[in-house]
Amino acid sequence: MQHFLKSALIASALALGVGMAQAQDLAPLNSDSEPDRMDWSELDAKFGALPDVADGTKVGGVSKTLTNEYWRSLGEGYSSFASAHGVDVVYQAAQSEGDQLGQLSIAETLISQGFSALLFSPQTDANLIPALEKAMATGVPVVNVNDAVIPSVAHYVGNVQKDNGVRVAKWFIENHPEGGKVAVIEGQAGVFAAGQRTAGFTETIEAAGNFEVVASVPADWSRELAFNAAATILQQHPDLIGFYANNDGMALGVVEAVKAAGKAEQTAVFGTDGISDAYAAVRAGDLTGTVDSFPVLTGEVAMEVALRLLAGQDLPRVVATPQALITSENVDTYATTDLKALRATLMAQ
């Protein structure tokens, strides 16, 4: 499948006038394991301070949806960094996380409006490929920013998706040495991040030898679908000790199902993303934890990467951004709006 996809992308690139050498140089991207990578904290040390930004620079951002706080926060990061460097930014998103054609239309419209660089957060690994090809043909740099991964993209900014699930699995292994039954509520099928988060959790917890993943079902990032899936799983496995959900919205739906089943004391629930509602639920004792990937900071880093590319810097294909497992034990450490303090905390990890 990857060979077919790469061949198709090369053919498309040639049709658009992009050189064969450029297309062939880019193997299908796995952002978690790509060897050409660096940590976000090393940008200044390896490439120096951000070069002066040319007058009139404008950057366009295309997101999944603004109904999810995570993507609104990512846009805040874009805007704050752009504003500090005199850059105009336009940030648009599809109406829902399932509106793939709508998102593609937004991306193609932005390409036609002459932006200096583009930041894409695709809904699936494939839906923005046509827009990427058009941008490549016009020489506009594109940065893929969390969390679906366009296989042919030249630059990606985001966290290690598999590690989200690994961190949660390690919590269960440490806190439930006796083992037990657990379940996964997956995101959208066919999305890189959902598959990696699920694989990280499942592979790690099954390797412990005394845990059983009794169910792993997609809920398409929907709180309602997650509630329904969790309710069914709890009926089938009343001795379940925990859930891992691929995002916080679904995790909060799982929390509702766990409470409705009277299992709150028995069944731990973890999410992913670190939205404010998840932090509040951790503080309230409803949600056991979340893996925060710090979207505002990620947005700042992605904008910085785009501006460095415009300045001609030869950056690695992947710039990895931070993440941390948030529980009641450390929630106050990470629940800060002071990005300078947060950066210092994350750099010290």
Closest listed residue to residue 296, CA positions, set 328, 269, 334, 333 = 334
Q: What residues make up the domain containing 264?
A: 161-292
Same domain, 153 and 8: yes
333 assigned to some structural domain: no
283 assigned to some structural domain: yes
Same domain, 40 and 140: yes
The Cα 200–Cα 105 span in angstroms is 33
* pLDDT at residue number 137: 96
Closest listed residue to residue 152, CA positions, set 298, 311, 12, 32 = 12
288 assigned to some structural domain: yes
What the block records as the tokens of 251 is 């995790």
* pLDDT at residue number 336: 80
Same domain, 15 and 154: yes
* pLDDT at residue number 100: 96
What the block records as the tokens of 5 is 């996809």
318-320 and 155-158 strand pairing: parallel
* pLDDT at residue number 13: 39
* pLDDT at residue number 103: 98
Per the listing, tokens 């679906």 go with: 148
Cα 297 → chain centroid: 12
130 assigned to some structural domain: yes
* pLDDT at residue number 190: 86
Closest listed residue to residue 71, CA positions, set 98, 39, 94, 100 = 94
* pLDDT at residue number 349: 78
Number of domains in the chain: 2
Task: Label residue 348 exposed, middle or buried (CB < 10 Å: 0-12, 13-18, 19+).
Answer: exposed
Cα 276 → chain centroid: 16
Same domain, 253 and 316: no
* pLDDT at residue number 338: 84
Same domain, 65 and 96: yes
From first to last of its 349 residues, the chain has per-residue pLDDT tens of: 333 333 333 333 333 333 333 444 789 999 999 999 999 999 999 999 999 999 999 999 999 999 999 999 999 999 999 999 999 999 999 999 889 999 999 999 999 999 999 999 999 999 999 999 999 999 999 999 998 999 999 999 999 999 999 999 999 999 999 999 999 999 999 899 999 999 999 999 999 999 999 999 999 999 999 999 999 999 999 999 999 999 999 999 999 999 999 999 999 999 999 999 999 999 999 999 999 999 999 999 999 999 999 999 999 999 999 999 999 999 999 998 888 888 888 988 7
